Amino acid sequence: MENLNYTAAHNAFRDQIRKFLKSEVIPYANQWEKDKITPREIWRKMGKNGFLCPTIPKEYGGQGLDFLYSVIIAQEMAKTNESGLITPLHSDIIVPYVSAYGSEEQKKKYLPGCVSGDIIMAVAMTEPDAGSDLAGMTTTAVEEGDEIILNGSKTFISNGINCDLAVVAAKDPAVENPHKAISLYLVEKDTKGFQKGNKLNKMGMHSQDTAELFFTKCRIPKANLLGKKGEGFIMLMSKLQQERLVTAIMGISAAEHILAQTLLYCKNTLICGKPISKSQVNQFSLAEMATEVKIGRVFVDKLISDHMEGLNIMKETSMAKYWITDLTKKVSNQCLDLYGQFATLEKYPIIRNWRDTRVMTIFAGTNEIMKGIIAKSMGL
Within 10 angstroms of residue 368's Cβ, the number of other Cβ atoms is 11
Residues in the chain: 380
Residue 1 has pLDDT above 60, yes or no: no
pLDDT of residue 134: 76
**Residues with catalytic function:** 243
pLDDT in tens, 42-77: 999 999 999 999 999 999 999 999 999 999 999 999
Interatomic CA distance for residues 313 and 285, integer angstroms: 32
pLDDT in tens, 308-361: 999 999 999 999 999 999 999 999 999 999 998 888 888 899 999 999 999 999
pLDDT in tens, 174-198: 998 988 999 999 999 999 999 999 8
**For the chain, which domains are there?**
8-119 (1.10.540.10), 123-235 (2.40.110.10), 239-377 (1.20.140.10)
pLDDT in tens, 228-272: 999 999 998 889 999 999 999 999 999 999 999 999 999 999 888
Answer yes or no: are the C-beta atoms of 263 and 277 closer than 8 Å.
yes
pLDDT in tens, 112-126: 999 999 999 999 999
Report, as an integer, the average pLDDT of 144-171.
96
Interatomic CA distance for residues 74 and 68, integer angstroms: 10
Work out the pLDDT band at 224, boundaries 50, 70, 90.
very high
Interatomic CA distance for residues 48 and 66, integer angstroms: 19
Q: Kindly report the three-state secondary structure assignment for every residue of the chain.
A: CCCCCCCHHHHHHHHHHHHHHHHHCHHHHHHHHHHCCCCHHHHHHHHHCCCCCCCCCHHHCCCCCCHHHHHHHHHHHCCCCCCCCCHHHHHHHHHHHHHHHCCHHHHHHHHHHHHHCCCCEEEECCECCECCCHHHCCCEEEEECCEEEEEEEEEEECCCCCCCEEEEEEECCCCCCHHHHEEEEEEECCCCCEEEEEECCCCCCCCCCCEEEEEEEEEEEHHHEECCCCCHHHHHHHCHHHHHHHHHHHHHHHHHHHHHHHHHHHHHCEECCEEHHHCHHHHHHHHHHHHHHHHHHHHHHHHHHHHHCCCCCHHHHHHHHHHHHHHHHHHHHHHHHHCHHHHHCCCCHHHHHHHHHHHHHCCCCCHHHHHHHHHHHCCC
Report, as an integer, the average pLDDT of 127-140.
82
The contacts of residue 44 (CB under 8 Å, 6+ apart) are 116, 117, 118
Statement: the pTM of the whole predicted model exceeds 0.85: yes
Rama region for 299: left / alpha / beta (φ>0; ψ in -120 to 50; rest): alpha
